[in-house]
Amino acid sequence: MSLLVWAIGLLAAGCVFFTFVGVVGLYRLPDVYTRAHAVTKADTLGAGFALLAAALAFGTTTAALKAILLFVIVFVANPTAVHLLVRSAYSRDRTVWVRDSTARGGER
Amino acid sequence: MIPLLEVVLLLVVLAAILVAVFRDPIVATALFAVFSLGVAIVWVLLAAPDVALTEAAVGAGVLVILLLIAAVKTGRDEADSSTRWRPSLDSVNLPALLVALAVGAPLSYTVGQFPALGDPTAASVSDVDPTGEPSPYAAYIGETAAAFDVPNAVALVLTVFRNFDTFGEVVVAFTAVVGVLIVLERATLTTTRANTHRDGSGGGLRFPDPYVMSPVGMTAVRLVVPLVFAFGVYLTVHGALTPGGGFQGGVVMGSSIVLMALVFGHAPTSDWLAERALVGALVGGLWLFLAIAVASIAFDGTLFEVAAYPLATIYLVDAIEVAIGLLVGGVVTALVVTTAAGVLRETREDSTADAVGGERP
């Protein structure tokens, strides 16, 4: 297999890994802030790796250029959206989760 | 192989039902955005990218922002957040449901009569109609776009064959903005009245708007807005060649301004907008379209017969797309900025009272 195929496979695997981490974080973490923390990093990297893999797979076409542009836009838009979400939650005095306030293995 | 179209359609139906059963307007609006994006994906899968662009920009973008502004300004019972996320059949209006079913049932019945997707013998693309008679549709679709040398047949139909209809649509959009300007109290398009509504006091917001003055948001918007606006210009002037056109490009250009209004606040944005430019885009777009339509008489054409011009038709398609883009961009910007700033005449007394006493504790 050529180097290109390996690179695409690695990027796609990275996408699956980070998206999975994001989903697990969204499901397991206790409050909006920690969940946002998991989702924004994992999701941005997941979508980013997917788009980079697509760009490599398209080769030297305009489709590859569009995938890279999408990559840039996802990298700007995704964290910004989550930042605003968290800022909104904070301004509504959503309580921040602290370890002591919930029993070990307590409520999710 | 997963039937992608069916999966997306299922998601669309699910989102539509959820919109109906959630009471909270903000939740329902968010779900409406999901519905609209799903519909946009359906259009892409049905090979209608022009419609998909419009649906994504208008349905999931501008309309959602307008609905959110309306929900926030009219106030909502935000207090019991316990029931907020609980779907409830109370919010379903029974007569409305009956009407929807009465309209939906015959429409659903016709779905079974459609030809399969991509069927070459379908009446709309075949050169033989269902009764066996010769039909002009195949030639209509296959040859006219080539004959006029305009690759995007949708743009050709919109701006040449059916430009009278398109002009009507554009006038409707123009009238909508004029109506909003008349109903909402606002002396001019862009002068703000003492910034009384900057803290969201016009409605149910009980905190200084967290979306305004966020440095991260501002930086991101500074980065993105020029790209989005350029993309809108590209969609408009490239509409004759690729999917897109004045409607889609205009909405995208307008939403880049709306994005600024969301992050920097509508009052500073409308201060920054030159009133002359906004009115110029609105009225200029309309007049440019009308001038192109009328001037064809000078070349022995009839009214709106743009094929009579001694120019390649593609240039006229481009000119009309630019006119539509100007007007639609102005419409979107003016609608959102005015709705965000404006106050209904009757309720203005109340909301100014709120503005004084509604500071965050």
Model confidence pLDDT, tens digit, residues B163-216: 899 999 999 999 998 888 888 765 444 444 433 444 444 433 333 444 556 788
User: Rounded CA gap, B261 and B186, in Å?
Assistant: 17
Q: Is B278 exposed, middle or buried (0-12, 13-18, 19+ CB in 10 A)?
A: buried
With a cut of 0.90, is the ipTM above it? no
- Phi, psi (deg, nearest 5) at residue B350: -60, -45
**Is the minimum CB–CB distance between A94 and chain B shorter than 8 Å?**
no
pLDDT, tens digit, for every residue of B294-334?
998 888 888 888 888 888 888 999 999 999 999 999 999 98
Nearest in space to B184 (alpha carbons), one of B356, B72, B334: B334
In the prediction, which pLDDT does B118 show? 76
In the three-class reduction of DSSP (H, G, I as helix; E, B as strand; rest coil), residue B343 is classed as strand
Given an 8 Å threshold on Cβ–Cβ distance, is B220 in contact with A77?
A: yes
Return the pLDDT at B348: 43
3-class secondary structure per residue, A35-64: HHHHHHHHHHHHHHHHHHHHHHHHCCCHHH
Bridge partners of B185, per DSSP, are B343
> How big is the A-B interface in CB pairs under 8 Å?
29
Q: Is B220 in Cβ contact with A91 (below 8 Å)?
A: no
Angle (nearest 5°) at CA A31 between A29 and A35: 55
Number of H helices, E strands in chain A: 3, 0
Selecting from A76, A91, A92 the residue whose C-beta is nearest the C-beta of B224 gives: A76
Cβ-defined contact of A83 to B207 (cutoff 8 Å) = no
> Which residue of chain B comes nearest to A69, CA vs CA?
B227
Beta-bridge partner residues of B134: B128
**pLDDT exceeds 70 at position B355:** no
Say if CB B339 and CB B308 are below 8 A apart: no
Measured between CA atoms, how close is B210 to chain A, in angstroms?
Answer: 6
pTM reported for the whole predicted model: 0.80
Is the Cβ pair A80, B217 closer than 8 Å?
yes
The chain-wide mean pLDDT, for chain A, equals: 84
- Could you say which of B207, B211, B224 has the minimum Cβ distance to residue A84? B211
C-alpha closest to that of B337 among B280, B260, B241, B284: B260
